[in-house]
Amino acid sequence: MRTEYNFSKMKRRKVKVTINLDPSVIRYFKKKAEETGVGYQTLINDALRRIVERDELFEEIKTRLLSDPTFIETLDLRLRERQAAS
């Protein structure tokens, strides 16, 4: 076994932060933590990660659709049809 270890090149997987949350939010996640056996902070992190992933996916889809001329033409046509029907 080594007498010294160099941890300087290790990537830190999580960042410690201080955040103020509503008591009801903490109660919710602590209750879920008891039910699932997963730590409440892990559950909060997972919920936030899902929001970020959903937002990133939405942005990717939006970017692709808005750069697709066929989509834009079809959207324009449908909007004009709807406007004419009103």
- In this prediction, residue 2 carries a pLDDT of 67
Report the half-sphere exposure of 4 (CA within 13 A, side-chain side). 2
pTM, 2 dp: 0.64
When divided into structural domains, the chain yields a total of 1
In a domain, residue 7? The reply is no
Q: Which residue range is the domain that position 59 belongs to?
A: 24-85
Residue 14 placed within a domain: no
Asked if residue 4 is part of any domain, the answer here is no
Burial 35-74, CB ≥16 within 10 A → b, else e: eeeeebeebbeeeeeeeeeeeeeeeeeeeeeeeeeeeeee
Confidence label for 86 from pLDDT (cuts 50, 70 and 90): confident
Mean pLDDT of the chain: 91
